[in-house]
Amino acid sequence: MPITDYLERNRKLYGNEVALVEVNPEQKETIRMTWKEYSLIQPTTDEPYRREITWQVFDEKANRLANMLLGRGVKRGDKVAILMMNCLEWLPIYFGILKTGAIAVPFNFRYSSEEILYCADLAEVDVLLFGPEFIGRIEAIEEKISKGRLLIYVGENRPTFAESYMELVANCSSEAPLVRIEDEDDGAIYFSSGTTGFPKAILHKHRSLMHSAKVEQMHHGTDRDDCFLCIPPLYHTGAKMHWFGSLIAGSKAVLLRGTKPEYIFEAVSREHCTIVWLLVPWAQDILEALDSGVIKKEDFDLDQWRLMHIGAQPVPPSLIRRWKEYFPHHQYDTNYGLSESIGPGCVHLGVENIHKVGAIGIPGYGWKCKIIDDQGNDVRQGDAGELCVKGPGVMTCYYRNPEATAEVLDGPWLKTGDVAMQDEDGFIFLVDRKKDVIVSGGENLYPVQIEDFIRKNDKVHDVAVIGLPDKRLGEIAGAIISIKEGMECTEEEMNEFCRELPKYKRPRKIIFADVPRNATGKIEKPKLRRMYGEEHLVAFETKNGD
């Protein structure tokens, strides 16, 4: 069955109950919108901006958009893109697109004008819905992106080059369109992180979307009494697929605009959230705020918070040990996945396996895993190799890129590009990205292992280890280290700390600087290699008179 059936079920069973809440702590003054369905806001001046919709209104909004798109000629297999920040309109628009039989194409809100145009052309987008934050970026490419495309603006003060979402849907039917959707129909295109250049378009069928919902429900047991706090961007598979658990349960979810620790605690407290998915930097920020006394647990109502889970990047075991000191009653889980495997959950730790913190876990619900060498053979247990996954959530292909598709799909198996190993109990540990492995003097260095060690230093806020060019060894390990606010650390002090590492694993270069992360919390290592790789080589050559 398609995922849209759950929305229609929730409308029938829980129509008057709250489905979604949007909270923006940094926007204190209420914005009143002209359309009557957006008058659900309670106007205040001293409280965070807050809106909510019921399951009935959610489904009606999706139906209105679907009927509007169908009336404008959108048909099965067309592509409709979403370029919006997290807001109350995002998910109804996504589901409205699915209800037409068209393919939903979420765009990364960090895309530049050139990237927006590139992705629109690559995915052959027919319609683009965009929010007020992107007017300037769209205007810069308006002449090119508007050719053959319908541009729809979601917000007030419509730019002249786009049509108004509110005006277009205002008089459309709120009844479900008569479009039959099958599991094998194409459902969505997501984009890779673009770590090796421009992003690749990842095509998924409706069965992938449905399976991701089942995975979340099975792993975290979301039920009617739960409330999920969603902070990461909805354009990414991770946030949306975790929210799918709330969709299946018919339970409330909160979209929080802002990642400050006090914002998160306030939202958990006021909205009675029970499940929170965090990225590593946000969890670190919370712990540092608690350590410093900036926030105090007793100032908030947090007793109902039952589950904290993390994904999108390797999780330092030391972080979870510190978290359990503050929240001993919390269940904890980590989720591993890729956009190519419809997001989180193809591997997961499991709340019952906290004794294995440090592992990404075991194959998720409906998934199988194997670890192979460069020749495609299974490695021995305990040896490192490339992690491969198989299951109903594997992508169909990289859209319009058969060469790249052939590189990662081996029949039903997806090669993840991640180096992993399996322990004697069957738990999988992520060693590193295959492309991030540093080959130094013939030895393989795995940056994640070095990063985990350096994070044990109480002065370290964040760290990234990358390969720097070296004429003698080929590469050496360089550590870019961000120190906690108010603390100081010298290169000599850090080198002394790293003496506990085997000599070949010790960073040969220490750089104190910020560690850039993308919107899903992953370290932007290609950016760091561009920033420091050439600089290091020039300095090395100058020093040696080359």
CA angle, 12 then 236 then 152, to 5°: 70
Q: Does residue 180 carry a pLDDT above 90?
A: yes
- CATH of residue 205's domain is 3.40.50.12780
| Structural domain includes residue 462 | yes
What span, in angstroms and rounded, lies between the C-alpha atoms of 503 and 523? 25
- CATH of residue 507's domain is 3.30.300.30
Q: Does residue 443 carry a pLDDT above 80?
A: no
DSSP of 327-357, one letter per residue? -TT-EEEEEEEEGGGTEEEEEE--GGGGGGB
CA 460 to chain centre: 24
Taking each helix axis from N to C terminus, what angle separates 237-249 and 90-99, rounded to the nearest 10 degrees? 80
- Helix spans in 158-279 (H): 165-169, 206-220, 237-249, 261-271
Which domain covers residue 499, as residue numbers? 437-543
Tally the domains of the chain.
2
Instruction: Tell me which of 196, 225, 240 is where a domain ends.
Output: 240
What span, in angstroms and rounded, lies between the C-alpha atoms of 119 and 114? 9
Straight-line distance from the first to the last Cα atom of the chain, in angstroms, rounded to the nearest whole number? 65
| Structural domain includes residue 448 | yes
Task: Please give the pLDDT value at position 166.
Answer: 96
Share of the chain above pLDDT 90, in %: 71
Q: Look at 31 and 413; give whichever has higher pLDDT.
A: 413
Instruction: Tell me which of 198, 216, 240 is where a domain ends.
Output: 240
Within 8 A by CB and 6+ apart from 64, the residues are: 96, 169, 172, 173, 174
| Structural domain includes residue 215 | yes
Q: Tell me: the pLDDT tens digits for 378-419?
A: 999 999 899 999 999 999 999 999 999 999 999 999 999 888
Instruction: Tell me which of 215, 240, 265 is where a domain ends.
Output: 240
| Structural domain includes residue 206 | yes
| Structural domain includes residue 133 | yes
What's the rounded mean pLDDT across residues 531-537?
67
What's the rounded mean pLDDT across residues 121-139?
97
| Structural domain includes residue 398 | no
Q: Does residue 46 carry a pLDDT above 50?
A: yes
In angstroms, the Cα distances linking 103 to 50, 81, 111 are: 30, 8, 20
What one-character DSSP code corresponds to residue 132? G
Q: Tell me: the pLDDT tens digits for 355-375?
A: 999 899 999 999 999 999 989
Task: Please give the pLDDT value at position 446.
Answer: 77
Question: By mean pLDDT, which of 27-36, 223-232, 304-313, 338-347 is the weakest?
Answer: 27-36
Q: Look at 70 and 440; give whichever has higher pLDDT.
A: 70
What's the rounded mean pLDDT across residues 298-314?
89
DSSP of 484-496, one letter per residue? PTT----HHHHHH
Report the amino acid identity of residue 295: I
At 197, the pLDDT band (50, 70, 90 cuts) reads low
| Structural domain includes residue 93 | yes
What's the rounded mean pLDDT across residues 413-437?
88
Q: Does residue 42 carry a pLDDT above 50?
A: no
At 540, the pLDDT band (50, 70, 90 cuts) reads very low
| Structural domain includes residue 403 | no
Q: Look at 440 and 286; give whichever has higher pLDDT.
A: 286
